[in-house]
Structure 1
Amino acid sequence: MKKLFTKMRDRQYSRKEKSRFEVALIYFILAIMFVIIAYPLYWAFAMSMNTTSNLYTASLSPETWSLDNFRWLFTNPRSDYLLWYRNTLFVSTVVTVVTTLTVSFVAYAFSRYRFKGRKNGLYAFLLLQMFPVLMAMVALYILLNIVGLLDNLWGLILIYIGGGIPMNAFLVKGYFDTLPKSLDESAKMDGAGHFRIFFQILLPLAKPILSVVALFNFMTPFMDFILPRIVLRSPENFTLALGLYNFVNAQFSNNFSRFAAGAVLIAVPIATVYLMLQKYLISGLASGATKG
């Protein structure tokens, strides 16, 4: 009996040691991830407050913290930063509103109705998700040139909207599939039509997944560089990513501190939208694409 008790105690002790080791390993991995994520953010912030414009002579801990770089972006006549900011906000807002509304209609139709070509349409959405928009850039460039939307913000908007519909529609459709159809049937018995069911019943319930779609589509124009680089030519039409590139690429303009200051300010609208939608985002990220 004593041997059995000793064996059970040793086994329990080994389990505790194993559990402590696993917890320590998890915290160690989290610490490494935190350093990997936090270091570039701190570098960008410290660089934006640095009076030295050269990347190799600047210090991660500036001797004198200064707001001169931010002041230059907003007050210098040679700076087009506010114009680029306005262009990006315009593109992001239009893309977010149009894509979210279009995707909700498309997803509702595929989720609630049975029509000819429905299955092929879902397969097409799955297939289109596998190929990035960049694979069609030559065709899109020629198409925009034909219709006169090259070097135009509306041309960029159309590409973002068209490229975002397949993946987002399939995602939202999966979320609609999780909502019971008894809600639709009860509303129909009370005399509600299709649009009333969609706008007053299903759309409010789909706020979590639509918030995810809205946030991702709002972030894309702020982060994307390649598409604006191909579509836009005139500096007055540049978005932030393309405009800031000139700070470190244009001749005699290798100013990394101004580039960092402009990059830090990109986080302001994204953080604002995130805070507005945060109560829906967690449940939205965990849902969608659960059913075919």
Structure 2
Amino acid sequence: MKEKNLALNFILFVLLLVTAFVFIVPFLWTFLTSLKTNDEIYASALTILPTKITFEHYVKVITQMGDFLKYFRNSVVVSLWSVLATVVFSASMGYAFSKMDFKFKNIYLGFVLFILTLPYVIYLIPIYIMESKMDLIDTAWGLILPYIATNLPMSVFIMRGQFNNVPNTLGEAATIDGCNNWQVFSKIMLPVVKPGIATVIIFTFINVWGEFTYGRTLTATAKAQTLPVGITFLRDEAASWQYGTLTATIILSLIPLLIIFLSMQKYFISGIMEGALKG
């Protein structure tokens, strides 16, 4: 039995190693390409590691492509506001669905869960029509509001699961000590569900930062377009698929994602398991 378990663990380790390799290789290839000179990138002999490291492509993106910083700034603004609003609304709704009793509670919750089964692209045409009438096309809020709406159902589900794991006696004890509902929620419950909040932040930020369809449809100029949309235009500006510049742009666009994930990774796994599976 022990030998069988060792064999299964070894097979599992190999499978995980191969899976990690498959996901990491494209990122490494892109990063290493961004450090190569143009002569080496387009050379007939294929090389993996750069023979001479250069940052000329990064310098070109930041200094010579003026719209890149504009696209980057737009992505930061849209992502931060979307994440902030999604965290506030999902935490409040998750707490209400978990710890409070109100009329038609199960019906509302069922509606939220039903929305999870629908692909978010089906809302695109109605949203476009509404935003056209409200003059929100090609504005930051024209992206922020749909991003909040599309990320909220899953976030509510995660936060409800987190609050379900908090004993009711904790809130009851705080109420006996004189706390009102808001104080119980903000000072007692929220600190306990940090893994869920971190999970919502990571998921929402990833979804918003890399979203292309809404960004391309609901914006028309660089004043509101985000980085995923802007990269397609920078590609043309960079002499049509100039790989050094393109890979440098991609790596720069991934930096915020890495920062967010690495800063909250210790909460991520527990937030997924408790919020999504036990909710």
* Same fold? TM cut 0.5: yes
Distance, in Å, in 2 between the alignment partners of 1:228 and 1:46 is: 29
Cα distance change of structure 1 residues 20 and 195 upon mapping to structure 2, 3 Å threshold: closer
Distance, in Å, in 2 between the alignment partners of 1:192 and 1:79 is: 53
Q: Which residue of 1 aligns with 2:35?
A: 49
Distance, in Å, in 2 between the alignment partners of 1:157 and 1:24 is: 46
Superposed, which structure 2 residues align to 1:17-32 within 5 Å? 17-32=3-18
Equivalent pairs: percent with the same residue?
29
Distance, in Å, in 2 between the alignment partners of 1:251 and 1:63 is: 23
Deviations 1:242-265 (A, max 9, x none): 111223356943222212111112
Quick check: which has more Rg, 1 or 2?
Answer: 1
> 2:240 aligned with 1:240, yes or no?
no
Cα distance change of structure 1 residues 140 and 233 upon mapping to structure 2, 3 Å threshold: same
Structure 1 position 96, deviation (Å): 0.9
Q: Which residue of 2 aligns with 1:281?
A: 268
Q: Which residue of 1 aligns with 2:257?
A: 270
Structure 1 position 79, deviation (Å): 3.0
Q: Which residue of 1 aligns with 2:90?
A: 103
Cα distance change of structure 1 residues 250 and 73 upon mapping to structure 2, 3 Å threshold: closer
Distance, in Å, in 2 between the alignment partners of 1:60 and 1:270 is: 25
Deviations 1:123-161 (A, max 9, x none): 101100001220111111111111111111111000000
Is the contact made by 2:136 and 2:142 (CA closer than 8 Å) also made in structure 1? yes
Q: Which residue of 1 aligns with 2:21?
A: 35
Structure 1 position 218, deviation (Å): 1.6
1:114 alignment partner, SS class: coil
1:29 aligned partner, one-letter code: L
1:116 alignment partner, SS class: coil
1:105 alignment partner, SS class: helix
Q: TM-score if structure 2 supplies the norm length? A: 0.91
2:275 alignment partner, SS class: coil
Q: Which residue of 2 aligns with 1:62?
A: 50
Superposed, which structure 2 residues align to 1:243-258 within 5 Å? 243-249=230-236, 252-258=239-245
Distance, in Å, in 1 between the alignment partners of 2:234 and 2:37 is: 15
Is the contact made by 2:115 and 2:153 (CA closer than 8 Å) also made in structure 1? yes
Structure 1 position 50, deviation (Å): 2.4
Distance, in Å, in 2 between the alignment partners of 1:151 and 1:138 is: 15
Cα distance change of structure 1 residues 53 and 149 upon mapping to structure 2, 3 Å threshold: farther
Is the contact made by 1:53 and 1:254 (CA closer than 8 Å) also made in structure 2? no
Distance, in Å, in 1 between the alignment partners of 2:58 and 2:166 is: 48
1:80 alignment partner, SS class: helix
Pick one of 60, 75, 100 that aligns with 1:72: 60
Superposed, which structure 2 residues align to 1:88-127 within 5 Å? 88-127=75-114
Q: TM-score if structure 1 supplies the norm length? A: 0.87
Distance, in Å, in 2 between the alignment partners of 1:109 and 1:215 is: 22
Distance, in Å, in 2 between the alignment partners of 1:54 and 1:120 is: 61
Distance, in Å, in 2 between the alignment partners of 1:189 and 1:16 is: 53
Q: Any unmatched runs of 5+ in structure 2?
A: none
Q: Any unmatched runs of 5+ in structure 1?
A: 1-14
- RMSD of the TM alignment (CA)? 2.2
Is the contact made by 1:54 and 1:255 (CA closer than 8 Å) also made in structure 2? no
Deviations 1:3-33 (A, max 9, x none): xxxxxxxxxxxx4554443333223212321
Is the contact made by 1:47 and 1:257 (CA closer than 8 Å) also made in structure 2? yes
Q: Which residue of 2 aligns with 1:7?
A: none
Is the contact made by 2:238 and 2:245 (CA closer than 8 Å) also made in structure 1? no
